[in-house]
Structures are given as C-alpha cells and as structure tokens.
Amino acid sequence: MPDVEKSRPEPEELLKLAQREEAAKKRGRLTIYLGAAPGVGKTYSMLSDGRQLKKEGVDVAVGWAESHGRRETEELLEGLEQIHPLSVEYRGFSLFDFNLDQALERKPKLILVDELPHTNAPGLRHLKRYQDVEELLDAGIDVYTTMNVQHLESLNDAITQIISIRVKETIPDTVLDRADEIKLIDLPPEELIKRLHEGKVYTKDIVGIAVEKYFRPGNLLALRELALRAVAGTVDEKMRQYMREYAISGIWPANERVLAAVFASPYAEKLVRSAYRLASELDGELIAFHVETEKSRDFSDQEKTWLNDAIALAQRLGARIVWTKGTDVASEISNYAQKNNVTKVVIGKPRKHRILPALSTNILINTPNIDVYLMDPGTGKVSFPAKPAAAMRLPFKYLAGLAAVAGVVLFDLALKNHLNQVDLLFLLLLAPVVSGLYWGRGPSIFAAAASLLAFDFLFVPPLYSFWISDVTYLFSFAIYLGTAVLVSGLAFGRQNKMKLLRESEAKSIALYGLSRDLIMARNLEQALSILLRHTRQLLKCELAVFMEEEGHLTVKARSEGFEIDTEATGVAAWVLANKQLAGQGTSTLPASRALFVPMMHEEEIVGVLSIMAAPELLKSPEQQVVLDTIARLGAMALERIGKVGAARRTAPTV
C-alpha cells in the first residue's frame, strides 16, 4: 500500500476549527428528527430517545409535544417531566404554546420541542418556534425537535408543485444546516397510507380528504426523495468541512458565487429560492442584488412588499445583500458580477416580447465567462398594481415637454429671418434635451417628435402644412430625430445619475461626519450626544441608547420624543443578552414600537441602539445597512472611550 503524504491544514482552517469548538462548548446541541410527511413517527422516535436518555441519568424535560390523539405517543409522555404550556388570550380564545421563559428558568440538560416550524401565538417574544429553539441552544440547552421536509424555505416552490398547496409555515435552511445531528424518520408510502387508514395519523373522519389531497403515492414518493436529498446535502457539507479542516486531499470545486437579481415582483421570492438551491448544490455563496432606480420612487405598497419580502427571505437564507443605486440595471448587475468574481447570475425570464433587447439579453452580452440562468416565473398570471401617483404626474410631464417645444418654436420664429433652416432645426433640440433632463425619456421623445412636426409645419415649404416638397428633408428629419432621442436619453441618464449620486453622497457625508466627531469624543456623554444628534439628522427618528452598568441595564442617552417604559427596557435587555436584532420590523418581539439594534464591536456587545421611526423606514434594507453602520460606529467609539477610561483609572502615579 503506497504511503500517503500527510498534509498540514491551512492556518485559517485551524483558526475556524478552534473558534467552532469554543462556540460549541457554550452552545447546546441540536438534533432534528426529519420526515417526509406527517405520520412517519418523528414525535414517537424523539420521545423514545428522550425516555432512554432519562433512564441513563440525563436531565430530560418535554417542552412541547403533539400527540394528535395517538395513544402510543401519549404513553411515551408518561413519566417524563413536562414544561407547563403558556396560555395566551387572543380574540376571546385561549391559545396554548411553548413556555420559553419557564424552559430557560428550568434549564434541563435536554429539552424535547415538537414541531419546529410552528408559528407562535400572537404576542409571544418570537414569531416562530425555531427562534425559541435558537434561544434555548444559546443558553447551553440541548434540543431534540421534529419537522417535515415540506417546511424548508428553499423547497417551498417545489413543494407547491407537488402537493398543490402553498406551505405557509417555513424555516430557513440554515437551521437544518446548523443541526449537529439529523435523524431521518422514514416509511415507505404504502406503509404510511396503511397507518393513515388505521387512524394512526389523523382521525378517521378526515382520512378520505387527506388521502385525496395529500397522501397520494406520487406525492409521498416525491416528498420522500426531497427528504433524502436534504439529509444527504447536510452530510455532504459536513464531510467537505471535515476535509478542509484536516487537509484531506480531494477534488474541490471552484468557489462559486451565485447572484440573484431581485426586483419588485411577485416572482421575486421564487427566484431567491431557486438561486439558493443552486448555490447550495454548488457549495457557493448567494448574493441577493437589487438596483434602485428612479422608478423605485413610484413603487406601490404592494411592490414594496414584494421587494422587502424577497430581501428578508434572502437574509433568512443567509445570503449577502447588495443594494445599489443606478440608472441601467443590466450594467449595474454586469459590472458588479465581473468585479466581484460572480460565477452565476440568476434572473427571471422575460414575460413578453419586446422591441428593445430585454434585461436578460443585455446581461448575457455584458457578462462573458459568467453563466446566466433564466428562471421561469410560472404560468400563473399576477396583476401588477396601478400607480396612481405616477399616472397623475405623467400627463403633466408630457404637457411640460410640449410647453418646452412651444417656447423654443417661438424663439425660432423670432430668429427666422436671421438664421438658416439647419440652425433653426438644431435650436429645436433644446426642447427634447430639457425634457430629458427634467421629465424623463418618454416626454423627451414626445418633445422631439412634436418639435419636428412644428418645424415641418412652420418652416418647411409649403408652409402651414405637413406636406414635404423635397424628399431630402426626410433624411434630415431622420438624423434630427435620431440625434434628439440619443441626446435626450443621455441627458435623462445623466440627470438620474446625479440625483442618485447626491442621495448616496449625502448619506456618505453624514456617516463620515458621525465617524469624525465620534473619534474626537473624549468621554461617554460627549460620544452619546454626538451619536444621537447625527442619527436624528440622518434618519429623522427618535432614539435611545441602553448600556449595562454595574450589572443593571440603564438608559445612557435618549432624545426627547423617545419614551422609556418597561416594554422598551425588556426588549433592550433581551437584545443585550442575545446579541440579535429585535422589535419593530423583525420576527422577535415585532409588536414593539421601536427597533433595537445591538451595538457590536468585534464579537462583543457594547450597548443597544433603539430607534423609533416610521415602519417603512425601518423595513427598508438600505436603511437597515445605515442603522447597522451607525450602531457599529457608536460601539467602536464607546469601546475606545471605555478602554481609555479604564487605562487612566489603573495607570500608576509617579
């Protein structure tokens, strides 16, 4: 047997391994019992394993378990300690749910929590149960939990095609990826259908409906295949990670980067899921890329919702979000892809034929050596909402373009006896150029056509008619029209770029001013005053800063309009403990009136920045990036001031 040369792992991989091992010591272990469909025995297997561990002396408690009336499952619960459920009053009904706070207070070694994708009752800390499980793991508690493959976010569109039902309760694939162990609970379709008819899955009065709508052999086979692939994918990723850490040689694919072009479209979420599946199969990075243009100002509420939901989905799936401004979407995507080593671009197929090249065509042409995938949006028709505000402004823009034409024509008439026809014709170019600068491409083209007709009517013999006696005028008119369209387009593009540049420059200058002033701050009070003043000027909001002092959470600074109550203090305390976003616009304590942002310096939390503003401001991904930047700048300043103060207190006197 030939000798195999042992390779040394790369220093970066050794560092990552050490960091993971250190984090694993503090974090609980997650075991997921994954099934293809209800009734395969996930809860039964979880409870059986829990009972066995209890016999071995492990401290086990049941946080939540659904027996669905199955006698054999209820028997397994006997003898196991159960966390008392939480009762929530909602619209006259009492809803029972997992009691997270009691579980954290009890803090067993292992807790069993059924139905991981469950949506929590209104008013609870988290929207989803998987977030409760994350908090348990962060507290060092091991968790056993269950779920079906149909609840994986990236498979949502595939599941809809299989069972003809859109699954509402989903979890990010990253939850499955981070699991320490996945146990596949599998049954052949024939045996599962047999259990269904025996009343071991649902009550017998709904068995017929379940078989007709869901438990068909074809559906179960497809779901079973997806479950097997999901488990195989996680095992394959762990194997590749092991090979990297221990420098085991093998065939490695190039580092793939998949860019998903996200637009304000009803198909945006489907595109993000497709791009995520592609990136996962290639073991690559997913980038969700959006270009904000002048048209973004006219988005309806529905279009804003489509866009924000797609960006939020990409964030849940672990994608890198890139939000940029520009006038030419295809150029922005192509330039970014080429400068950032993107290997694949995913974009939606054109929905109809166009005279001008489609966006996808321009991207194909401008991205050599980059694969472009066109996603089929499906056959369903979606009506795009009307834009009344834009519709009201449109006639005004065309009337303004016509007024510009009239003004230039009057100027030409005044100079008619002093200039030749060529000079008069090119003076008319002022109208489409002005229209392009101020009112857009459409009014500019309209002004070009109107000015050409006015010139023919007033200056070309026979006068006061549109008849042309000399055909050479047609050639001149064609050149004029082409020149007018080209120049007006350039003027429109330049004007848009200037607007977007001014907006970006204003934010950059504001953030630069904040960082400059924070560097000059000499004490905590001065730094907090600077942070509040600059943030209010930039975002037009009310805010407060919470910090821990001698073991107690205190409000170190706040604007006059920010009210401090027990709710705000409680949310800030949770953010300080968990180092995660919470409050308005998030899935943790979303009923709060403010957004609470952790002020992180490296891996440590320095304080909590709380912002109270309009909901649409806090939901914007672009504003979230600004908020994160402000929080990090503030954290760096507070950390620096704290270290300087500590050094001064401990410095020896001479």
Instruction: Supply the pLDDT for residue 51.
Output: 94
Regarding beta strands 142-148 and 110-113, do their DSSP bridges make them parallel or antiparallel, or are they unpaired? parallel
Report how far residue 442's alpha carbon sits from residue 627's, in angstroms, rounded to the nearest whole number.
37
Q: How far apart are the first and last CA of the chain?
A: 71
Contact 340, 320 (CB under 8 A): no
Contact 455, 484 (CB under 8 A): no
b/e code 386-398 from CB counts within 10 Å (16+ = b): eeeeeeeebeebb
Task: Report the top-level CATH class of 257-375.
Answer: alpha beta
Residue 339, C-beta contacts closer than 8 angstroms, at least 6 positions apart: none
Which neighbouring-strand residues pair with 42?
none
SS (H, E, C) 320-376: EEEEEECCCHHHHHHHHHHHCCCCEEEEECCCCCCCCCCHHHHHHHHCCCCEEEEEC
Residue 350, C-beta contacts closer than 8 angstroms, at least 6 positions apart: 358, 359, 360
Among 3.30.450.40, 3.40.50.720, 3.50.50.60, 3.40.309.10, what is the CATH number of 521-650? 3.30.450.40
Instruction: Supply the pLDDT for residue 72.
Output: 86
Burial class (CB in 10 A: 0-12, 13-18, 19+), 445: buried
Q: Is 90 helix (H, G, I), strand (E, B) or coil?
A: strand
Instruction: Kindly report, residue by residue over 518-564, the tens digit of the pLDDT.
Output: 888 888 899 999 999 988 888 888 999 999 887 788 999 999 889 88
Contact 598, 581 (CB under 8 A): yes
- State both tokens at 86: 């939480």
Fold observed for domain 11-245: Rossmann fold (3.40.50)
Q: Where are the domains of the chain?
A: 11-245, 257-375, 388-496, 521-650
Question: Which parts of the chain sit beneath pLDDT 50?
Answer: 1-6, 249-254, 388-392, 644, 646-654
Instruction: Supply the pLDDT for residue 397.
Output: 75
Instruction: Supply the pLDDT for residue 482.
Output: 72
Amino acid making up residue 470: D
Report how far residue 330's alpha carbon sits from residue 291's, in angstroms, rounded to the nearest whole number.
9
Report how far residue 268's alpha carbon sits from residue 624's, in angstroms, rounded to the nearest whole number.
20
Q: Is 205 helix (H, G, I), strand (E, B) or coil?
A: helix
Instruction: Supply the pLDDT for residue 367.
Output: 85
DSSP 167-178: ----B-HHHHHT
With pLDDT > 70 as the criterion, what percentage of the chain qualifies?
78
Whether 257-375 shares its CATH topology with 521-650 is answered no
Instruction: Supply the pLDDT for residue 382.
Output: 59
Burial class (CB in 10 A: 0-12, 13-18, 19+), 24: exposed
Contact 444, 491 (CB under 8 A): yes
Instruction: Kindly report, residue by residue over 112-157, the tens digit of the pLDDT.
Output: 999 999 999 988 999 999 999 999 999 999 999 999 999 999 888 8
Task: Give the dihedral of Cα atoms 582, 586, 589, 590; nearest 10 deg.
Answer: 140
